[in-house]
Amino acid sequence: MNNPETSVIIRKQIAIRNYLCSTEQEEVSEIIDGLTAQQKYIPSKFFYDEYGSNLFEAITCLPEYYPTRTEKALLKEIAPQISKTLGNIDIVELGSGDCSKISILLDAIPVENMATVRYIPVDVSHAAISNSARILVERFPDITVHGLLADFLKHLSVIPKETKRLFCFFGSTLGNLTRKQSVQFLLDLKAVMKPGDQLLIGLDMVKNIRVLEKAYNDDQGVTAAFNKNILSSVNQYVKTAFNPDWFEHVAFYNQSKNRIEMHLRALKNIELSCMYLPDNIRIKKGETIHTENSHKYTHWHILDFASITGLKINAVYTDNNQWFSLVHLIA
Ligand code: AVJ
């Protein structure tokens, strides 16, 4: 079915709005702040340039990286239950990426309800949103897609409010935030939710440390490549000349903070200039740049999030190993 009429209809079903600011000043100062801090860091969102997004997709297929596989299987299991309530609804996916997870949920919605479902992907990647939109309208001809090119940490207020909503926040993306940031984010999210709005959030659970560390130290070195690739985003934004070969990939479980930490450790003394800084950037051999936190959760954290935000837990779904949870909350 590729006649012009169809494509007109398809385009009518898709709208994408851009809320990102076009100047890159904010990004530049976020990176500069990190490179001049005592413990140097680079915010994790800079992993996801086009190549980085592809590397992440490759990670999700690795035998060692259990989260994506586990979450998708769980989602498939619970989709019939969750989707019973899904008609006349906006399904908002925060950090939507490729549309593989939402497709599992949409698959379980009765076809006759689809015309009353609007999918609202929120992502900083235009490619991710437009590709998803194209794929979804083809697969679900009656759905409407209203994409928001936006940073969900900053732009929750631009999400349409007229209809009741199901917010989806998959992939344990919450885990990239510190404890304090994650509580603040959930409070912000609760503040835009209306009574009856739902939240389905995927959380990676605390588990055997060997399983955790292996997931971030895969045998093929894809995670190492992903980690080092963040430097190409940095080079682009702040016009530096970091060479990824000057660093080694380090990922370990920080038991006291319940999180995997990823760092880039300098293999030699490094000194390089940056047009945004009066002095050269100096990194000593052995010093690290912290690139990611990936927090892991317990049932206690889930109860705590609910009590702090006042969201009601409708159900906590988990796999047999209790490696990953999908928490269904209601405002
Ligand atoms: C997409 C943030 C959930 O923390 O596991 C995968 C990113 N980093 N391997 C995670 C990631 C290294 C992932 N999240």
Question: Stretch 307-330: mean pLDDT, rounded?
Answer: 98
Question: Whose Cα sits closest to atom 11 in ligand 1?
Answer: 56
Residue 54 pLDDT > 80, yes or no? yes
248 close to 265: Cβ distance less than 8 angstroms: yes
Our answer on whether the CB atom of 176 is closer than 6 Å to any ligand 1 atom is yes
Our answer on whether the CB atom of 173 is closer than 6 Å to any ligand 1 atom is yes
Our answer on whether the CB atom of 216 is closer than 6 Å to any ligand 1 atom is yes
pLDDT for the residue numbered 11: 61
Residue 4 pLDDT > 60, yes or no? no
Judge residue 245's burial from the number of C-beta atoms within 10 Å of its C-beta, 0-12 exposed, 13-18 middle, 19 or more buried: exposed
Condensed to tens digits (0 to 9), the pLDDT of residues 178-208 reads: 999 999 999 999 999 999 999 999 999 999 9
Rounded distance from Cα 176 to ligand 1 centre (Å)? 8
Q: In this structure, what DSSP letter does residue 12 have?
A: H
Q: Which pair of structure tokens corresponds to residue 59?
A: 């990670």
Question: Stretch 103-110: mean pLDDT, rounded?
Answer: 96
Residue 24 pLDDT > 90, yes or no? no
Half-sphere exposure of 174 (CA within 13 A, CB side): 29
Residue 6 pLDDT > 60, yes or no? no
Residue 5 pLDDT > 50, yes or no? no
What percent of the chain is modeled with pLDDT above 90?
A: 89
Q: Look at 126 and 192; give whichever has higher pLDDT.
A: 192
Our answer on whether the CB atom of 218 is closer than 6 Å to any ligand 1 atom is no
Query: What is the per-residue DSSP string for 50-86?
Result: HHHHHHHHHHHTSSS-HHHHHHHHHHHHHHHHHHTT-
Question: Stretch 44-48: mean pLDDT, rounded?
Answer: 92
Strand 144-149 to strand 117-123: parallel, antiparallel, or no bridges (unpaired)?
parallel
Question: Stretch 96-110: mean pLDDT, rounded?
Answer: 94
Question: Whose Cα sits closest to atom 2 in ligand 1?
Answer: 173
pTM of the model: 0.93
Rounded distance from Cα 294 to ligand 1 centre (Å)? 6
Residue of 125, 205, 292, 326 to mutate, ligand 1, most atoms within 8 A of C-beta: 292
User: What's the farthest any 2 CA atoms get from each other in the chain?
Assistant: 63
Residue 312 pLDDT > 80, yes or no? yes
Question: Stretch 233-257: mean pLDDT, rounded?
Answer: 98
